[in-house]
Amino acid sequence: MRIGIFGGLAATATIDDVVADVQAAEEQGFHSYWVPQIFGYDALTLLAVVGRETERIELGTSVIPTYPRHPAMLAAQALTTQQASGGRLTLGIGLSHQPVIEHMFGMSFDKPVRHLREYLDVLMPLVSGERVEVHGETISANLALDIPGTQPVPVQVAALGPQMLKLAGARTAGTITWMTGPRTIADHTVPTIRAAADAAGNPGPAITSGVPVCVTDDVAGTRARAAQVYAIYGQLPSYRAMLDREGLEGPADLAIIGDEEAVAARIRDFAEAGVTDLAASEFGSGDGERDRTRALLRSLL
């Protein structure tokens, strides 16, 4: 299992700070660095900058909501960032959530599986350098993109339920999970996506798992802080379903918290479940916890 960093720093720091953090992760030997798309920086623009300032580390979005961007425009952004980074980009996309799409963006969240299917009909050919002619119920496109010198962009889908996992397995490079525990990944995520991938002749889908991690001696206090920081994920239906499937009361129970030995053991659980790439979201409350967490993660590379 490869280990990367889920760059929560991108939500609170300057671009220079993010560049420095990715450079440090690259120097330390981490495989990848993932940037979220929430309500701050544009993730692809940020990674285009980062890509010009780094050399080896893989870069990914985790994840860009599909509804607000036409897939042709997202493909153009992704191919541009792919060229800027020298071919190190993975484009992580997802539906987001009904409250976000309807109440914040003012858009319809109707039939999300149909939406993703039509979205991929346009996106996947374009990020592979092909022309597309699609006339869907809600998404259409008739164009090609001319971005010289770029490489195809692998796409991963934030897929939790079975229909989304089947789409991801059949048509993309894999899936990105969040708030999904190792038992659920082993019993639900991996078999569902692999069966769909094998049936479509698309073997070996990536299973990227984002998970909060903190090495600490204050387990109770850190778990209480995690319950506050990640509270929203226990309320959104798609994540709530994953926590319920895992048998957990809330997001704090999923977070990997403890001393070095305990955290390493929990991380091994994800590897044994079939995760190919762990995206560690470090949430130490001070330099001591953050340094211990990073050191432990480095020891597992």
List, for residues 196-224, the tens digit of each pLDDT value. 999 999 989 999 999 999 999 999 999 99
Domain count for the chain:
1
Compute the C-alpha angle 202/94/55, nearest 5°. 75
Min mean pLDDT across 98-107, 215-224, 253-262 is at 98-107
Residue 123, domain member (yes or no): no
pLDDT at 137: 96
| Residue 256, SS3 per DSSP | strand
Residue 272, domain member (yes or no): yes
Residue 120, domain member (yes or no): no
Residue 206, domain member (yes or no): yes
- pLDDT tens digits for 61-101? 999 999 999 999 999 999 999 999 999 999 999 999 888 88
Q: Tell me the two tokens of residue 49.
A: 């900058």
Residue 113, domain member (yes or no): no
pLDDT at 4: 98
Residue 128, domain member (yes or no): no
Which of the four pLDDT bands, split at 50, 70 and 90, describes residue 38? confident
10 pLDDT exceeds 80?
A: no
Residue 117, domain member (yes or no): no
Residue 152, domain member (yes or no): no
Which of the four pLDDT bands, split at 50, 70 and 90, describes residue 104? confident
Per residue, the 3-state secondary structure of 195-222, as one string, reads HHHHHCCCCCCEEEEEEEEEECCCHHHH
pLDDT at 39: 87
Contact at 8 Å (CB) between 233 and 269?
Answer: no
In 45-162, the DSSP E strands lie at 58-61, 64-65, 89-94, 132-135, 140-143, 155-157
Give the domain range for residue 43: 2-69+157-299
